[in-house]
A and B are shown apart, each in its own frame.
Chain A
Amino acid sequence: GDSVTQMEGPVTLSEEAFLTINCTYTATGYPSLFWYVQYPGEGLQLLLKATKADDKGSNKGFEATYRKETTSFHLEKGSVQVSDSAVYFCALEIQGAQKLVFGQGTRLTINP
């Protein structure tokens, strides 16, 4: 079945460090890929998305590129801030299914 695997957390970095959170997927169809972020006590917010191979999603300094050959969608940010501390979820959606399949989430803590 369809699945998403994220790098194990938690991840702790210092402010202004470079961030990478790895995400790989398994899907039978042609999925769209997403990164969602969850701040404490809140629901999920869509951070960025890519709907086809080689697309790059970007938002708030975060980027991820849809790599079909490696079935990956790694999240990167060049310089993290304390306010980026949250849980990050990688997810896929098979076209038309309106059903998201999530990875297990990666807790990110940024220290000043």
Chain B
Amino acid sequence: KAGVTQTPRYLIKTRGQQVTLSCSPISGHRSVSWYQQTPGQGLQFLFEYFSETQRNKGNFPGRFSGRQFSNSRSEMNVSTLELGDSALYLCASSLSAYEQYFGPGTRLTVT
């Protein structure tokens, strides 16, 4: 069974630009969560989607948004990029509670 895939794996953007990251969950998984990982703040929860509905949201500004499609694939968008948005963005999918499977992440660098 294929794991969680994330595209692209690496991305370089300039301050003020916007970016869209994509996540394809494990087949059959309907819940997709996003996390930001930085050396300073560690791993922080961004949001979680289930059946195209956002069920949970972390403490991030409105520049961070996401959506989920009917096939459970998810995208997250960051607008007006800041230097501090440089991070590894991880996506996780789950079939049920207690089991989240993570993708390899997208490394975003903002210059």
Contact = CB atoms under 8 A, between A and B. Distances in A.
Contacts of B98: 32, 49, 51, 93
A43 interface: yes
A98 B94 contact: yes
A43 B105 contact: yes
A61 to B, nearest CB: 21
Contact of B56 (A42, A44, A91, A98): A98
A100 interface: yes
Contact of B97 (A32, A44, A101, A103): A32
B97 A100 contact: no
A41 B35 CA distance: 16
Interface in A30-69: 32, 36, 41-46, 49, 51
A51 B104 CA distance: 25
Given A32-B97, A44-B90, A104-B42, A99 B56 contact: yes
B100 A43 contact: no
Interface string B34-74: 01000000111100101000011010000000000000000
Interface residues of A, number: 24
Contacts of A44: 90, 92, 102
A98 B42 contact: no
A85 B100 CA distance: 22
Contacts of A36: 102
B56 A97 contact: yes
A101 B48 CA distance: 13
Interface of B: 4, 31, 33, 35, 42-45, 48, 50, 55-56, 58, 90, 92, 94, 97-105
Given A43-B4, A43-B105, A46-B100, 5 more contacts: A43-B90, A93-B98, A99-B56, A100-B43, A102-B43
Interface of A: 32, 36, 41-46, 49, 51, 89, 91, 93, 95-105
17 contacts: A36-B102, A41-B104, A43-B104, A44-B102, A51-B98, A89-B43, A93-B97, A95-B97, A96-B97, A97-B56, A98-B48, A99-B33, A99-B56, A100-B33, A100-B43, A104-B42, A105-B42
